[in-house]
Amino acid sequence: MNRHYVPNYTGSPSWQANDFFNAHSRTLGLSRDRFPHSWFGELWAAIRSILRIGGSHIEEAQLAHSKYYYQGYFEPPYSTRELAAAAGYQAFLIWENHHTILMPSFVPAMKEVLEWISGIAIAESCKLCEELAFTNEKDIREACEWAAKTSQKCYEETHSRIKRFRRHSVGNQRRHQEYYNSKYLPGQSDTMYGGYTGYDDYGAQYGYEQPYMNDGYYGNGFLQRFKYQSLDNQKDNDEEVDTSEKLTLATFFALGISMLLPWNALILALPFFDDAIPYDFFPSSLSAAFTIPNFLTLAFATLTHPGSDVDSRVKRSLMLMTIPLASLGFLAYISGTFKPEFLYICVLICATCTAVGSAYLQSAGTAIASLYGPSHLKAIFTGQGLVAVLVSVFQLLLQIFSSGTQEDVAAANAIAILSSYAISTLILIVSAGIFYKLSKTATFIEITSNNKLKTPSLHPIELMKQVNSRVWEYGSAVMVDFAVTLAVFPTITVLVRSSDPIESQPLLLHSVYFPLVHFLAFNLADLAGRALPSVELPKRFKSATIKTIHPTSSKVLIGMSASRLIFIPLFLASNIPNTAPSFLKHDSIFFLLIAFFGLSNGYIATNVFTAGTNEQYNVKLNEPLSIPGEEEHNAKDIGASVLVFYLTGGLSIGN
């Protein structure tokens, strides 16, 4: 039963335990009818938080491994834990000897390796159980759990710095050898098959090309490659990982800001351009010049996403938005020197260019973030919420300080608009700069060079149909969420006025400021809703079966989105002049409704994307795509792009 082989698959830094389980299962020829994707998801959800408690020590696992994998000992009764220890040690050996194949050009953190190696161990355990005809589901699950724990314990014991120094001293190595042979193989010499002759000889004994430890003391292997030679180097490595993670989160946060910056910049400058361009249809023309190209481009970007160069798409989209946005600021400042007709055409052209760039950025940026994980999607949505808050604050300040003669106000507004567009342009340039830096990291290169992401589809319609079948429920939730939001805000909410008498109204509740204040209140609540999914209960308060306290079921999210329809009659019952009697007149009630409305909008949208692109929650993503011609594609990043299209569709329906 010797299965020492070179793995025929290569992982990606975005992979999780289930990805390694699926890939290794295919290598072993594991029965997918007996062990489907959903089976692993249920098992992993139950054991992931208790994995580092228990497991066989490396000496015990080594004995079990030689017994099951090399000596061919298959006489019943079988010990579940002994079998599991053998599978766990096999997974450990596979990683030690072939980590450069499994995860090339990437320096993982300890916690990532422990998760990956667990997926391999569970696949090995399932294969042993299958070959030994295990039928009891409880025994199989127990074996898988113990195998995962053993693989992690073997890895930790091997790579623990203090234990490593002790283990590799000459005296301790000999004592390990004597202890192993005396306890597990009495009467056998050190050179007999199965005897333990030291870590340096184990690989040679069993036909391995390299010693299984193969670190800085015994060769040019794993420990040396990952700089685990000393405590100082380990600290340096940890700092590099932390810095890389901060750079990644900062990049996607900046991309989130950049995605909604063009539209918010147009909204900010709309009153100014409306005065400079004396056409009644200008506002609707500007809206159409942005929304229609944005929607059509997003549809095209989604359809052509498979096989596209997402790296180049992000960079080009940022460039495409930067130049027109800077031009709009310049046009606003010198608008008096141009004829209205020329200014009208220029503004619409700039709006269209930024719309196209924004669509490509949303599609490609969100897809890349989905490959990195939920925290990076949350960073994008938080950045989107923040830009809306900043624009609302700027609008309110412009209105407050707009005093004096008409000419002075116009000049001040032109300078303010120019400044805001200059800052917006600078943000886009900074976003492009840090994204360029991120694109040169090993993690990014590994993710975007995955073969499944680089394969253009010859059947894009069929591919989209299959991916859509895996995410449409989550897409429906986000589409209803934003359709309800745009149907109410600001169409209905902008009509509401303060219920206080005019003479006693605070300044910010006057009819001039009231709409701007409620814009700010909504955007602050929306930002809070987008940030809320990042908050989790401490692990000591969560049971082993609870992965998150936030909703992840598509049905629950659809129900939450549909329940927001109740806000329509509630806002209509607020203090709207010249309408039917208002039942909810008080200002505090109106702003409380605005707060819950904004909070639910951001909260639902963020949870849809983090759950809908996560294989643990959306198990349909684990189902292989059956595209003609045996094409291979990653349903995860394509699904993220499809969800963006659903979101945009909801905005269009609401409008």
Please report the pLDDT score of residue 6 as a whole number: 67
Q: How far apart are CA 176 and CA 62, in angstroms?
A: 12
How many angstroms separate the CA atoms of 387 and 378, rounded?
15
State in Å, rounded, how far the first CA of the chain is from the last one: 64
CA atoms of 236 and 239, how far apart (whole Å): 5
Check: pTM over 0.95? Answer yes or no. Answer: no
d(CA 517, CA 523): 10
Joined together, the tokens standing for residue 485 give: 């939001």
What is the model's pLDDT at position 530? 93
Cβ contacts of 503 within 8 Å, gap of 6 or more: none
At 200, the amino acid letter reads: D
User: Using CA atoms, how far apart are residues 639 and 303, in angstroms rounded to an integer?
Assistant: 11
Concatenated DSSP letters of 213-251? S-STTTSS-HHHHTT-SSHHHHHHHHHHHHHHHHHHHHH
Cα 474 from Cα 492, distance rounded (Å): 27
Cβ atoms 646, 623 nearer than 8 A: no
By C-alpha distance, which of 391, 399, 593, 563 is closest to 496? 593
627 bridge partner residues: 631
Domains, the chain, in order of start with CATH, read 17-135 (no CATH), 244-452 (1.20.1250.20), 457-654 (1.20.1250)
- Asked if 25 contacts 126 with a C-beta cutoff of 8 angstroms, the reply is yes
One-letter identity of residue 528: A
CA distance linking residue 56 with residue 146, whole number of Å? 8
User: What does each C-alpha distance from 532 to 172, 382, 384 come to in angstroms?
Assistant: 51, 10, 14
Smallest CA-to-CA distance from 252 within 438, 399, 77 is with 438
* Location of structure tokens 């949208």: 605
Place of tokens 């589409």: 479
pLDDT at residue 27, rounded to an integer: 83
The whole-number mean pLDDT for each consecutive block of 10 residues of the chain, a chain of 655 residues, reads 63 81 85 78 75 75 79 65 88 83 69 86 88 83 89 80 41 45 40 35 39 33 34 44 72 93 82 76 85 91 85 92 85 74 88 93 91 87 92 82 61 71 89 91 72 64 88 94 90 82 71 84 94 79 66 92 93 81 80 94 94 85 74 78 91 81
Task: Kindly report each contact of residues 434-438 with a partner whose C-beta sits within 8 Å and lies 24 or more positions away, as own/partner.
Answer: 434/247, 434/250, 434/251, 434/254, 435/251, 435/254, 435/255, 435/314, 435/315, 435/318, 436/315, 437/247, 437/251, 438/247, 438/248, 438/251
As given in the structure block, the two tokens for residue 217 are 């003391």
- Indicate the DSSP class of residue 70: I
Nearest one of 493, 530, 492 to 389, comparing CA atoms: 530
d(Cα 12, Cα 445) in Å, to the nearest integer? 10
Q: Is 428 helix (H, G, I), strand (E, B) or coil?
A: helix
Instruction: Count the helix, strand and coil residues of the chain and give each as a percent rounded to the nearest 5.
Output: 70, 0, 30
